Amino acid sequence: MEDKTIHPNDKAEAMASENYEIYKREVIRLVFPRIFRESNEANTKAKLAAGAKKVGRLPEIRDVVAFYFYLLSYVNGQAYKESGEPNEKYGACFVSYKRIAEDLCMAKDRIKYLADVLEANGLIIRSVHYYEGTKRYKLYYPSWGPRVSDDGYLVSPDGEKIVPDPSVYLPRRD
């Protein structure tokens, strides 16, 4: 019998095309559920510490998943510009705040909060301000999460778990 990999459903067709991306399953299976739990715990503790008798509705965090995969979907994959110079946007999501807000149907001020959550959890490696003439952009360099612990934390190249400060999950008042 021939050694041929068989893929479920239409995965083989997707892989044969050039318009698909990979992701590590542990990110959706372990990392995001942990983020949801930690967010709920941090916000519950904050409400109770503030004297609330009932916890009530907690801030929404699940849209962080759509935001993360949106960033991955728009990573600049061109290492060099047409001139042959290195491309400083290589590896960064290059979409404007306005477009992200429109595409994901969220307020522009929500983007910074979600980016901070992803960065604190290691799912954004770094973010930088980028200028083209007088236009200012925010570039996000997302991680594909190559190393994930059994309890849902990203692991740095040095072997350390990336554990966020729980305050990153609290609503902003700025």
Please give the single-letter amino acid code of residue 17.
S
On the question of pLDDT at 157 being above 80, the answer is: yes
What is the pLDDT at residue 66?
97
Question: Can you give the CATH number for the domain in which 42 is found?
Answer: 1.10.10.10
Domain presence at residue 170: no
Domain, as residue range, for 93: 23-162
The domain tally of the chain equals 1
Angle at 71 between CA 65 and CA 72, to 5 degrees: 90
What is the pLDDT at residue 71?
96
Domain presence at residue 154: yes
On the question of pLDDT at 4 being above 80, the answer is: no
CB-count exposure of residue 65 (10 Å: 0-12, 13-18, 19+):
middle
What is the pLDDT at residue 94?
85
> How confident is residue 39, by pLDDT bands cut at 50, 70 and 90?
very high
